[in-house]
Amino acid sequence: MVPLKSNIRAPCLHTVNLNRPAIKSHARLKLPPGTFVFSKKEFSPERHIFPICFLGEPLLVVNWRFTEQKEQPVEISPELDRLFLDLIGEERHALYEQIGRQLPHTIRFNPLKGPVERQQELLRQQGFGFEPWPGLPNVFRITHQPYPIGKSLSHFLGHIYVQDLSSMIPPLVLQPQPGEWVLDVSAAPGSKTTQMAAMMNNEGVLLANDVVMKRIQALITNLQRMGVVNTVVFKWFGEQFGNQYFEQFDKILLDPACSGLGTLHKNPEVLSWWTPNHCIRLAGSQQKLLISAIKALKPGGVVTYSTCTLTPEENEEVVDFALRNFPVELEPIELPGITTRPGLTRFRQKQYHPSLERAIRIYPVENDSEGFFVARLRKVDSLEPPRLKKPRRLLQVSFLSHKTSPVKKHLDYLAAHFGIDSRVFARLIYQYERQVVAFSKAIGDFPFYGKPVKMGLVLARIMSQGAKFTTEGAQLLGHHATKMVVDLPDFATLEKFVNREALDVPVAGKGQVLVRYNGLIIGYGLADNGQLKSQFPKAEWPFRLTAVE
């Protein structure tokens, strides 16, 4: 028996929504076996009684106090217990202790949004404590949260991305560089994609692909929030890239769907459906995706294969197949500051390629993080080109330079209004659809064999006279402005600005004004009768900055 929070999402027969007005926070609920309970908020302080399911059958009825998050016992299946026993022995009990418990948050800052040191100062001003993770660049552990960090101003501005430590490892292993063409095969919701975009300094081409539209919407939202211009979003099956983009990419990240055994601390529902056969089915899909990735990779290029699970079937066996059937070699991985174990070369009765010891395994119990497997493979030779049933259809996608009409007049207006050197706009290319969308220059040379779902960043919107920056556009290029910029004098004024409250900030001139705080472009406002009027985007919650103790 292991401790587990009782909000497991299991395959049950009935549902009850605790958000319904008819169910009050003081109600005492008695629900039938097999009920699936879900809620968007905490209820206090009365106890609610509901059953928990395991593999479709009611396992136990628990007392649950939402505000206290009372722990309850849940069984681990015998097959899963044997798997963990064979992998980590008696340490599996420490792993079971983590199930359903929140691990320390880790974050990274976003160099695309301004000086990282200033971003750190702003986060500290909001009351958050954090410390660098030794040995890993731009990885920080949260030590204090006055409120959930996802509701902080820094998160809203795209200064930080909350991401598990282990999830940051695959991009660090891949090491994408500015100017390269990089493919993220299973990109949503965008944690690793936005990390790689920052590592590439918003240059080159980053094709972010996923197959589920709902997840793609989350990916697009994160790309916008983080100020990314070098990314093209596709909705393809990952198996298509090997043929359609044969030997086109410098680097590829493949982090496919998996059984998720490394995420039990936050996804205990995995226990309700995990079976060895399910892992075998997933491994078949993962193998096909890795084959496609190797085909799409240029000779000499690198593909990083990673999963957030711990089963050898989905990890070593998939890579072993690639090593034995394709011209790829495993390269060693050096990660100071994090505890790793070598990949398996033998498990139970199976023997794997000896070079798999160069892969790494990350166990939750050793780093207070998700469990992960990561392998770095280099392609050492070309493959025979695929024989396509239908010829590839090259889609014509047009872009404009900063000197091309109709974009030119709007960029010239912004350059004159804000005193921005026109050479700043020359670093990007554009599209015009009653708004100005900006892209990295390299995207102009990229072949489109399918229609992208989304690409680039909306830089400016067209007005009856001239144009105005979007908030993301202001944050992207506003630091180049030499006029029509106002500095907020203190933290209290910043709080008023981001909450769209009345301000006592004098400003000269007319029209759009960029708003800066402590060297960071926060957004924009309007000059209104000599005063600054906030145009900060509306959030779903108020920002209470100065109330932090």
Catalytic residues: 308
The 8-class DSSP code of residue 82 comes to H
DSSP 194-238: HHHHHHTTT-SEEEEE-S-HHHHHHHHHHHHHTT--SEEEE---G
DSSP 311-374: -GGGTHHHHHHHHHHSSEEEE----TTS--EEPPSEETTEE--GGGGGSEEE-HHHHTS--EEE
Would the CA dihedral through 435, 438, 443, 445 be positive or negative?
positive
> Nearest-CA neighbor of 495 among 547, 543, 539?
543
Contact (Cβ atoms closer than 8 angstroms) between residue 196 and residue 158: no
Tokens of 166: 């282990």
Alpha-carbon gap, residue 441 to 126, rounded angstroms: 37
Alpha-carbon gap, residue 466 to 481, rounded angstroms: 17
Cβ neighbours around 202 below 10 Å, total: 24
Cβ neighbours around 33 below 10 Å, total: 15
CA max distance for the chain: 79
Alpha-carbon gap, residue 206 to 192, rounded angstroms: 11
Alpha-carbon gap, residue 486 to 503, rounded angstroms: 12
Reported as half-sphere exposure (CB side, CA atoms, 13 A), residue 123 has a value of: 33
Task: Estimate to the nearest angstrom the gap between the alpha carbon of 153 and the chain centroid.
Answer: 18
Q: Which residue has the tokens 């983080």?
A: 226
> Nearest-CA neighbor of 208 among 225, 228, 199, 283?
228
